[in-house]
């Protein structure tokens, strides 16, 4: 399936616009909807052509594992970042970022092991 160049330009304009606009009202309403619309073709091509050079990297085990943790990462990242800022008030933002990243990964992995895996087993067990 070959997409026309005009379609690609339209998609990149949407994504670029969504990233550039910093208005809080926009972010709280339309931002993620438009972002999803703009990124949809990218994901469709990735699903339909998983062996293409760029998309092949998305099938690596560690990236798939991050995908498994993605919801827990989403739930925990902001809390962990704020906790790291409060507990380690260093002036080195890179160090705070690295610590926050690994602490968020650790929290997400724990949530995955304690909550998500057991719930997935229950879901399979109760599935009709």
Residue 22 has pLDDT above 70, yes or no: yes
User: Both 83 and 123 in a single domain?
Assistant: yes
Residue partners of 122: CB distance under 8 A and separation at least 6: none
Q: Compute the distance between CA of residue 101 and CA of residue 112 in angstroms, rounded to an integer.
A: 16
Please spell the DSSP secondary structure of 75-121, one letter per residue: HHHHHHHHHHHHH---S-HHHHHHHHHHHHHHHHHHHIIIIIHHHHH
User: What pLDDT, on a 0 to 100 scale, did the predictor assign at position 128?
Assistant: 66
User: Both 53 and 64 in a single domain?
Assistant: no
Residue 90 has pLDDT above 80, yes or no: no
Nearest to 111 by CA among 82, 78, 76, 63: 76
User: Both 16 and 74 in a single domain?
Assistant: no
User: Both 23 and 40 in a single domain?
Assistant: yes
User: What pLDDT, on a 0 to 100 scale, did the predictor assign at position 8?
Assistant: 61
Q: Compute the distance between CA of residue 60 and CA of residue 40 in angstroms, rounded to an integer.
A: 21
Q: Give the model's confidence band at 89: pLDDT under 50 very low, under 70 low, under 90 confident, else very high.
A: confident
User: Both 47 and 108 in a single domain?
Assistant: no
User: Both 13 and 72 in a single domain?
Assistant: no
User: Both 93 and 122 in a single domain?
Assistant: yes
User: What pLDDT, on a 0 to 100 scale, did the predictor assign at position 5?
Assistant: 55
Cβ of 69: how many Cβ atoms within 10 Å?
19
User: Both 128 and 72 in a single domain?
Assistant: yes
The token pair at 55 is 């998309």
User: Both 76 and 124 in a single domain?
Assistant: yes
User: Both 39 and 79 in a single domain?
Assistant: no
Could you tell me the residue range of the domain that residue 112 belongs to? 60-128
Condensed to tens digits (0 to 9), the pLDDT of residues 50-71 reads 888 878 888 889 988 998 999 9
For the chain, what is the mean pLDDT? 85
User: What pLDDT, on a 0 to 100 scale, did the predictor assign at position 3?
Assistant: 53
User: Both 64 and 125 in a single domain?
Assistant: yes
Q: C-alpha distances in angstroms, 83 versus 74, 97, 102?
A: 15, 12, 13
Report how many domains make up the chain: 2
Residue partners of 2: CB distance under 8 A and separation at least 6: none
User: Both 78 and 101 in a single domain?
Assistant: yes
């Amino acid at each position: 399936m070959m997409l026309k160049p005009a379609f690609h330009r339209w998609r990149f304009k949407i994504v670029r616009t969504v990233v550039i606009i910093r208005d809080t009202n926009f972010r709280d309403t339309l931002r993620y909807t438009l972002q999803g619309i703009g990124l949809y073709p990218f994901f469709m091509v990735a699903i339909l052509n998983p062996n293409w050079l760029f998309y092949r990297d998305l099938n690596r085990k560690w990236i798939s594992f991050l995908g498994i943790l993605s919801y827990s990462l989403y739930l925990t990242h902001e809390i962990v970042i704020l906790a790291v800022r409060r507990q380690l008030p260093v002036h080195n933002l890179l160090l705070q970022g690295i610590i926050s990243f690994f602490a968020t990964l650790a929290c997400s992995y724990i949530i995955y092991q304690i909550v998500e895996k057991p719930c997935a087993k229950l879901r399979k067990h109760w599935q009709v």
